[in-house]
């Protein structure tokens, strides 16, 4: 689209807005009729660790949303000389699952508990046994059941339980709904009915009987919607919440809210069977759309769905780049102390590229990037660690390689199950901050997964772009057109990208590092026990 066409599209409401609440950034992306981004705005934010819980305040949610939208509006005004007054459609996405419980008056009953918390082990274990279906600690149902087991007084007053994306959507539209991808992380989904599994729901409700609670599970969960379904319209109150200046009008249609896992699949065109994507940033998760079910229950594998309801096997690690980022920040402090002016992006690129020059196995060095607990290695809390022996080759290149490898260490433990199950994968697409520096993240991930890893030019757009695409699909799809067909033919046709095949030396080096990593977990356990 040229400048003039873009300006007209904005003024006539032919654009689509996607906003995603990520772990460290709230991003708004505006796309045109060709699905390409035409403007964006963002707001940086951080979770807080308060009273043993990783959380964000509701004030931060709304302040961050309004700031990202305001920055988008500023960019639109600067680029195209027009004001934002309407859109063809809007979509909201948020970090996956977690726990947000509200009473009948819409009051939050307990601080928002994010995906990062590992405080629901007892509930997750009991529910996994009850359902014979893996229930991860970050899932909404695990948080709810743990609150019940803890006899938290707020539980009896729950009228509605949702996730961050569902909460924002509800406040802007009045609709208590959820896209099926995010709903599958609230409670298990039956992929034949594309709804919550009724058999498991019955089992859960039986558990509630003895607790004498005034509700059943189906009373408090949001309604499940599929990609392409209408999910309400922006209310007058919602328009003012999003744009306090009052320029934005009501009545704009919204698509079902989704989690960042689902929008990541969409943003990488990984919603068809035998495709997969890896999202690597604050946390890291690999998702493969399955051709056939896994042979048995694995507690390391989460079974979720695409936004169109196809079953997906997901390996999720709580920790990826946070500790690596902290080391880069330390090097940034060092450069400043020397009086050397190096931009953060340049420093990241230089240090990441150092990792390519390291020994294949990182020279005997070992790191654990556990800023928070890590369910894949059964640690309830995290203690970032760097360990070496006197014989280790302690160089900057090996140091960086060890931390890059460590970012994928817990993930690799889960990925081993895909190999055991002979899960067929035709392509894996990477996205997220880990892949920003050209070649580095791809090579490390290819070594970990032992499959070619592609990164598309649009991968940096991330989940905000992914939810904008879902909103566009709702608006523009042909009658009965599947999501994967829409994406392949109308969004990604002719898309350019780069693919890196696994290097055998890297694969072997990563395997040696992983043996060291597994043996060294006792050190991490001792650090958790010894440093309180």
Q: What is the pLDDT of residues 406-427, one digit of tens each?
A: 999 999 998 889 888 988 888 7
Spatial contact of 275 and 289, defined as CB atoms under 8 Å apart? yes
Q: How many CA atoms lie within 13 A of 275 on its CB side?
A: 19
Considering only CA atoms, which of 185, 213, 217 is closest in space to residue 200? 217
pLDDT at 461: 66
> In the chain, what are the domain boundaries?
322-406+505-530
Q: Give me the mean pLDDT over the 28-43 stretch.
A: 95
Does 497 have pLDDT greater than 90?
A: no
Q: What is the pLDDT of residues 163-212, one digit of tens each?
A: 999 999 999 999 999 999 999 999 999 988 999 999 999 999 999 988 88
445 token code pair: 């991930």
DSSP letter string, 278-340: EEESSSEEEEEE-SS--SS--TT-EEEE-TT--EEEEEEES-SSHHHHHHHHHHHHHHHHTT-
Considering only CA atoms, which of 312, 208, 298 is closest in space to residue 261? 312
Q: Give me the mean pLDDT over the 96-115 stretch.
A: 96
pLDDT at 458: 66
- Residue 146: CB atoms within 10 A of its CB come to 22
Q: At what angle do helices 504-519 and 409-420 cross, to 10 degrees?
A: 110
Spatial contact of 132 and 58, defined as CB atoms under 8 Å apart? no
End-to-end CA distance of the chain: 57
Spatial contact of 222 and 171, defined as CB atoms under 8 Å apart? no
d(CA 352, CA 233): 44
d(CA 412, CA 295): 20
Cα dihedral value 467, 473, 475, 477, nearest 10:
180
d(CA 90, CA 151): 39
Radius of gyration of the chain (CA): 23
Tell me the C-alpha to C-alpha distance, in Å, between residue 50 and each of 94, 117, 171, 509, 527. Answer: 21, 11, 25, 40, 21
Does 334 have pLDDT greater than 80?
A: yes
* Burial group, residue 356, by CB count within 10 angstroms (0-12, 13-18, 19+): middle
Does 340 have pLDDT greater than 80?
A: yes
Spatial contact of 217 and 162, defined as CB atoms under 8 Å apart? no
pLDDT at 460: 60
Q: Give me the mean pLDDT over the 383-387 stretch.
A: 97
pLDDT at 462: 79
DSSP letter string, 23-78: SSEEEEEEE-TTS-EEEEEEEE---EEETTEEE--HHHHHHHHHHHHHHHHHHHHH
d(CA 149, CA 415): 32
């Amino acid at each position: 689209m040229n400048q003039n066409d873009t300006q007209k599209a904005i003024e006539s409401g032919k654009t689509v807005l996607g906003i995603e609440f990520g772990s460290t950034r709230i991003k708004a992306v505006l796309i045109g009729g060709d699905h390409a981004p035409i403007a964006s705005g963002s707001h940086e934010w951080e979770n807080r660790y308060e009273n043993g819980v990783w959380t964000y305040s509701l004030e931060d949610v709304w302040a961050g949303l309004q700031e990202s939208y305001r920055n988008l509006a500023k960019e639109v005004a600067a680029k195209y000389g027009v004001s934002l007054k309407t859109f063809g459609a809007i979509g909201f996405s948020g970090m996956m699952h977690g726990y947000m419980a509200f009473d009948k008056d819409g009051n939050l009953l307990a601080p928002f508990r994010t995906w990062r918390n590992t405080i629901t082990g007892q509930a997750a274990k009991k529910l996994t046994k009850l359902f014979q279906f893996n229930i991860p600690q970050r899932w909404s149902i695990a948080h709810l059941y743990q609150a019940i087991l803890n006899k938290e007084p707020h539980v009896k007053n729950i009228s509605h339980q949702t996730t961050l994306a569902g909460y924002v959507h509800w406040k802007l539209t009045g609709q208590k709904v959820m896209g099926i991808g995010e709903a599958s992380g609230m409670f298990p989904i039956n992929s034949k009915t594309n709804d919550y599994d009724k058999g498991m729901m019955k089992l859960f409700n039986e558990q509630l009987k003895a607790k004498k609670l005034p509700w059943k599970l189906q009373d408090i969960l949001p309604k499940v919607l599929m990609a392409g379904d209408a999910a309400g319209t922006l209310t007058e109150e919602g328009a003012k919440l999003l744009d306090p200046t009052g320029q934005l009008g009501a009545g704009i249609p919204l698509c079902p809210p989704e989690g960042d896992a689902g929008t990541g699949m969409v943003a990488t065109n990984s919603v068809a069977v035998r495709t997969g994507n890896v999202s690597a940033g604050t946390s890291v998760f690999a998702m493969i759309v399955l051709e056939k079910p896994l042979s048995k229950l694995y507690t390391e594998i989460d079974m979720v769905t695409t936004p169109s309801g196809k079953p997906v096997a997901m390996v999720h690690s709580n920790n990826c780049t946070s500790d690596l980022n902290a080391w880069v920040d330390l090097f940034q402090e060092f450069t400043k102390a020397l009086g050397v002016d190096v931009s953060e992006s340049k420093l990241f690129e230089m240090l990441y590229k150092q990792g390519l020059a390291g020994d294949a196995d990182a020279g005997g060095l070992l790191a654990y990037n556990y800023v928070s607990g890590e369910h894949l290695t059964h640690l309830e809390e995290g203690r970032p660690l760097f360990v070496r022996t006197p014989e280790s080759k302690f160089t900057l290149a090996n140091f960086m390689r060890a931390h890059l490898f460590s970012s994928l260490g817990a993930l690799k433990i889960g990925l081993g199950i895909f190999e055991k199950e002979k899960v067929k994968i035709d392509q894996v697409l990477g996205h997220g901050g880990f892949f920003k520096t050209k070649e580095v993240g791809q090579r490390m991930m290819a070594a970990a997964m032992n499959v070619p890893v592609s990164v598309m030019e649009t991968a940096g757009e991330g989940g905000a772009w992914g939810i904008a695409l879902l909103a566009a699909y709702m608006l523009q799809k042909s009658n009965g057109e599947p999501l994967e067909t829409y994406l392949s033919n109308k969004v990604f046709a002719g898309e350019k990208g780069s693919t890196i095949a696994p290097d055998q030396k890297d694969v072997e080096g990563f395997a040696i590092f992983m043996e060291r990593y597994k043996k060294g977990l006792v050190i991490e356990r001792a650090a958790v026990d010894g440093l309180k």
